[in-house]
A and B are shown apart, each in its own frame.
Chain A
Amino acid sequence: MIITKSFVYEPGEHEAEKASNSYLMSLIALIAGLPLPIVNLFATLFFYIGNRKGSFFVRWHCTQALLSQLSMLIMNSFGFWWTISIIFTEETLSNRFIAYIITVFLFNLTEFIATIYTAINTRKGLHVEWWFYGNLTNLICKD
């Protein structure tokens, strides 16, 4: 699911650091922004905007981080508001809700592990592409 590929050029020390930071920051923002599911997306988005003039390697990894956070936002927001509606309205706890929450939890856990793994490897200057997101980023981010 996670493939380490060779990049078109050898990224420098500071480039690798910035690329790694784009993943790390989404984690820290996630912890700071709990339970709201949108804060980490904002953080990655602003980091992307801050680095839009950066080198290709940095932009590529910022885009991948942004895309992954975007799909997290859709899944987490739905779960968040469903939970709120159960607490505050007549909506009752159902099997469907529990199944959805388990799915969201597993998805978040996978994403969390993948993000940490990618942050570590990008820091070493390795180019890590995720399944689906990597291809999508290749289409969006051009040199």
Chain B
Amino acid sequence: MDSQKVDMFIMSNGKFFESHQVMQIRERLIELDDSKWGIIQTMQFKDPTVSIIVSLLAGTLGIDRFIIGDTGLGIGKLLTCGGLGVWAIIDWFLIMGATREKNYEKLQQVL
């Protein structure tokens, strides 16, 4: 793929991925066929900032886990009242990384 297109994608979507994954993503995108550009350009990613806000406000109900697509963990968190509060605290620190990992997994399905 054209490196200019790839750089444009990285510039607008870089914040959705882990910093150490960005270079890897860039290399993979450059090697990718041009026909997949349409799919990649229209992909929607979850914002880590939104998930941390939801986690702070409704973490004990597991809403943050539902949002990023971990339904099983979300139900577990909901039924245990956020793991009696402990899990909710852990997730304040984990959720941003987890969101970025999910975005990376989503992109990898196309790559």
List residues of chain A with CB under 8 Å of any chain B CB: 11-15, 18, 21-22, 24-25, 28-29, 32-33, 39, 42-43, 46-47, 50-51, 54-55
Tell me if A28 and B89 are in contact (CB < 8 A): yes
Q: Among B19, B86, B98, B100, which residue has its beta carbon within 8 angstroms of that of A42?
A: B86
Tell me if B93 and A32 are in contact (CB < 8 A): no
Q: Among A13, A14, A25, which residue has its beta carbon within 8 angstroms of that of B89?
A: A25
A29 touching B90 in the complex, CB below 8 Å, given contacts A14-B97, A50-B98: yes
Tell me if B86 and A14 are in contact (CB < 8 A): no
Chain B residue at minimal CB-CB distance from A46: B90
Measured CB to CB, the closest approach of chain B to A40, in angstroms, equals 9
Tell me if A12 and B20 are in contact (CB < 8 A): yes
Main secondary structure of the interface of B (DSSP, over half): helix
Chain B residue at minimal CB-CB distance from A9: B20
Contact flags (1/0) for B24-56 with A, using CB distance below 8 Å?
Answer: 000000000000000000000000000000000
Measured CB to CB, the closest approach of chain A to B105, in angstroms, equals 11
Tell me if A29 and B89 are in contact (CB < 8 A): yes
Measured CB to CB, the closest approach of chain B to A69, in angstroms, equals 13
CA distance A15 to B93 in the complex (A): 13
A14 touching B98 in the complex, CB below 8 Å, given contacts A25-B90, A33-B86, A50-B90: no
27 pairs of residues in contact across A and B, judged by CB atoms under 8 Å: A11-B20, A12-B19, A13-B19, A14-B18, A14-B19, A14-B20, A15-B20, A18-B97, A21-B93, A21-B94, A24-B93, A25-B89, A25-B90, A25-B93, A28-B89, A29-B86, A29-B90, A32-B86, A33-B86, A43-B86, A43-B90, A46-B87, A47-B90, A47-B93, A47-B94, A50-B90, A55-B20
Give chain B residues whose Cβ lies under 8 Å from the Cβ of A24: 93
Measured CB to CB, the closest approach of chain A to B92, in angstroms, equals 8
Q: Among B19, B89, B100, which residue has its beta carbon within 8 angstroms of that of A43?
A: B89
Asked if B69 is at the interface of the complex by the 8 Å CB criterion, the answer is no
Question: Which of A14, A15, A21, A22 lies at the interface centre, i.e. has the most chain B CB atoms within 10 A of its CB?
Answer: A14
**20 further contact pairs, Cβ within 8 A, besides A43-B86, A46-B90:** A11-B20, A12-B19, A12-B20, A14-B19, A15-B18, A21-B93, A24-B93, A25-B89, A29-B89, A32-B85, A39-B86, A42-B86, A43-B90, A46-B86, A47-B90, A47-B93, A50-B90, A50-B94, A50-B98, A51-B94
